[in-house]
Each structure stands twice: as structure tokens, then as C-alpha cells.
Structure 1
Amino acid sequence: MADTPCLPVFLCALLACVAGRFVHFSYVGCYVDYIDGTRDMKGNNLNSPDEMSLEICSAICSLDSFLYFGVQFSSQCFCDSSFGSQGKGEESECNRPCSGNSSQICGGGGRNAVYALSYPDWNSYTVVKPSNLTVTFKRTRYNLVAAQSDADCLLQCSARADCQAAVFSKRLLACRLLDFVYPPASLTGPDWTL
């Protein structure tokens, strides 16, 4: 198992696809953030001036199985398993459209629109193609196992409680079982797909 702290993860691996588990989210409310330079939600974070959406933020926060995500100022995403330490904001203060989907609301200035994440179906998978976002994670971990096919790779992933995604190499007959949904560029490439 590899462990690389604070690895910038480039989600633009050209031929990489990942089979990840479905994540659902529901709106909780508008909450105050960044009082005296302190963030309310202190887990993974992302700033995407052109591509932020609720789906992207939920995917980023599900990488480490956080319980909540907050979107702020149209382009910022914050993750944590708790929120609200700085108090509730007025709903009218969470009124900015998301930079990547103007039909969605992504908080406001100093205000997180907070959503609860749920992971209801651990045996459902979808194939996703990562965008060109850069995300910083606190840790990056995976297990390398032998696999005869992409189906075998998914089967091995579904048998492990800590596996959230898998990347398969047909040429190497190997499978990387990931504990996060999107693979970093260092774990993908022309040989690693699903």
C-alpha cells in the first residue's frame, strides 16, 4: 500500500476511467465560514473558478468518506465530517450560482451552502471520466492486486470495505484498488483504465 501525504492530484489522466461508488447528497443549510481566518470545514478543499458544481464537490468530498461538503463563493468546495462551528447564516446569503452549473447554488461570500453526503449502495458502480481539476488530498492510498479482467478488478473492489474505486491494466493484468474515487495522474495512464 502506497501512502503519499499532500499529493496534488491531477484529474486529467487522458485515458483513465474509474468505476466509483454512487454518492448522494442533500441540502442542509447556509452556514457562516472563515471568521478570524478560520475555516469551518477543514478537510479536502478545491477552488475551481470555471467548473464547480454540486456533483464535483460531492465527488471530491466522498474521496475520503466525509459526511458533509460546503460550496462557497461560486467556486470553492470544502469537506468535513462536521460543520456549523461558526453559526448558521441566513438562507438569502447563500445565493451565488456555481461556476460550472449556473442552475445550482454554491453558497456566498463567507457562507457555505452545506450538503450531507450519504453512501447508500456499496454495490453500484458508474464509470466516470475525470475532468482537468487539481485537488489536494491529505493522503493517497491504494492496493495493487492481480486481476484477469476489469470485471475481476471490480469484484475485488466490491469485496473490500475500504475500496471506493478501481483502475485496471489489461496489459499488466493488475488492478489498483483505491480508497478514493478519482485516481491521481501518477496512478493512471494509457495502461490503466476501466
Structure 2
Amino acid sequence: MQTLSILPLILCCCIAFGHSLSTEFGLLGCFVDTATRDVNGLDGWSTIGPYSVTWSSGGTVTLSSMTVQLCSEICAYGKFRYFGVQFSSYCFCGNSYGRHGKAADSHCNMACAGNSAQICGGADRNSVYRQIYYRQEGEYFTLVDRDYVNVTSTSGPFYRTEQPVRSLVECVYRCEADCQAVLFHLDACHLLRFPVLPHELKTVAGKFAIRV
């Protein structure tokens, strides 16, 4: 795995994903669930943070106040990468999803029990989200595969673009303050607030690197 330092041409091999209870999230889509739970990271847990986990298979937090934000907060206690909301009030956490395949978006059609303006899956259908954690600033960057999500950030624009930029190293140098990742293509440097790519950059080629 190739890594870049903000110090000139220093290489290392390492990767880390920071954690904070302060997160944002992006919708990945509607996915099929069965009795063999798709998002099953809470299997065997009895509690997560202050919340009780029910069901011996798969594990879920069930609340009459469930919202998308609440499920995100619950799963952040376990540093899970993904969460799924289902049947209005179920919250599932996990580090993988999609084993049963994708469902039509129209199958996720049930309002969240705690917020009727939001969708919380459907019958045997999860609305699956990617957790996007705020992380402390690190010194190194590593080239990684692309991971696209639909993100609407509550803290301002998801990314900004600077150009002309002559190289990936120069692009990385410009990644300061709240910047966690870069996408460099031709002479354009996209500076991202989170280590994932929004769908609006899906057609942009180039090299994607995240801070580690």
C-alpha cells in the first residue's frame, strides 16, 4: 500500500480509521434482510453504550424514538462502519452489508418511528448508511480504493476544489485544517472533509488518498 507524507517524499505503510462519537453519514441504498441478518455486528451483544440490544441472532436496538441520526449515534459507540434502519424502529450496526443483495429503493418505504419525515427501511429491508467519522489530524496519506456515498454534510460543503495544482504531493500539502482526503486529477485538487467520495465526484478520475 503506497502512502504519502506531508513531509516531502517520506513513505510508510500504515492505516488507521479514527473514531469519535461525532459523525456524519451517507446513504448507500436499500438492501434485503432475512432471518440471517445482513448488518449483524451486534450479534451476541447485550448493550451498546446506554442502549439495550435485543434478539439473539443478528442483534438490534429497537426504540420507539428511532431516527436515522439516533441509529448513527448508537452504532458510533461500537465504531461500526455501517448501520441499517429497518421497519421504522430497528437499528442494526456492522462492518459489512449487502450479503443478500440490493433491493429496489421503493422497498424502503417506512417512516422512522421518531421522525416521520425520514425513511427507516421497510419489512425485511434495511436503509443502509456508511458512517463517516471525524478523526484527528494525522501526518501521512495513503492511496485507497474509492468509496462513494450520498452525503449531505451538516457542517458546510463536503469538499472544495483548488487549481491549478501540479502534483499529488502538492495536493496533499494543501490538505489542512478539516481536510481528511484528496482526489487529484490533471491540475485539479479536490480537498474533502471526510475520507470518502461524494457521488458528484464519481465521474472524476485520478488518485484518491486519505489521511492516516
For normalisation by structure 2, the TM-score amounts to 0.46
TM-score of the superposition, structure 1-length normalised?
Answer: 0.50
| Structure label with greater radius of gyration | 2
